[in-house]
Amino acid sequence: MKINSPAEDRIIVDLSEQDLLGLNITYEDMDYSTIETRRVIWTVLDEAGKALGREFDPSRRMIIEASPKRDGGCTLSFTMLDSKRAVGVQKQFLKKQEKNILCEFENADMLMKAAECLESLNAVTNSSLYELGGKYRLLLSGNGDIPKIKQSCSEFGTSESCSELVCCFTKEHWKELVADNAIGKILNR
């Protein structure tokens, strides 16, 4: 467990796959409405408090974000809210980052440029390519650095996190060109 506090009101905790096993939870099972997830959050906050020499009240209003990592672990980000920033936040919640990213490109040139950029990031774990009416879509899975992947793709087309429903829609209504490792195959690697 790696604990970092870049600001007084923010804590970032990197949990390895082993850490999650020790806590008896997986990223997929995390849901703040369950007592198991709340137990893990309280345990992680307790460990962070010990490591940072501060006490964190688990009942305090906060935003908790979870992002998956390539190695099977995850990153938990806690943002503590003061009374001004807590307006409209009724309770704590866990915001899980979508694992899938949908990128759409107007033409093959933009697709190629994005593929080159994505390959240099080494952050995409899987990719598939679809076409419809001369436009191209890449469905990407990332290793936890989703914002960096989205930012890189947005230079050449549109990119957004997407749900399984959007992925299924693309798979059903767009023509599949490459089912697996599309970035590598586009770049002949």
Residue 2 — very low, low, confident or very high, per pLDDT cuts 50/70/90? very high
Residues 6+ apart with CB under 8 A from 13: 1, 2, 3, 4, 44, 47, 48, 75, 76, 77, 78
Q: What pLDDT score does 84 carry?
A: 54
Question: Residues 50, 88: one domain?
Answer: yes
The last residue of one of the domains, among 72, 96, 120, is 96
Residue 62 — very low, low, confident or very high, per pLDDT cuts 50/70/90? confident
Question: Residues 49, 128: one domain?
Answer: no
Q: What pLDDT score does 161 carry?
A: 76
Question: Residues 37, 69: one domain?
Answer: yes
Q: What pLDDT score does 135 carry?
A: 94
pTM: 0.51
Q: What token pair was written down for 40?
A: 């893990």
- Kindly compute the dihedral angle of the four CA atoms of residues 155, 135, 186, 179, in this order, to the nearest 10 degrees: 120
Question: Residues 132, 65: one domain?
Answer: no
Q: What pLDDT score does 86 carry?
A: 45
Mean pLDDT computed over 109-129: 86
Q: Which domain holds residue 76?
A: 2-96
Q: What token pair was written down for 165?
A: 């429903």
Q: What is the CATH number of the domain that holds 166?
A: 3.30.70.1950
Question: Residues 75, 151: one domain?
Answer: no
Contact 130, 56 (CB under 8 A): no
Question: Residues 87, 104: one domain?
Answer: no
Mean pLDDT computed over 105-124: 87
Question: Residues 11, 92: one domain?
Answer: yes
Q: What pLDDT score does 163 carry?
A: 74
pLDDT, averaged across the chain = 83
For tokens 């040139």, what's the residue? 109
Residue 97 — very low, low, confident or very high, per pLDDT cuts 50/70/90? low
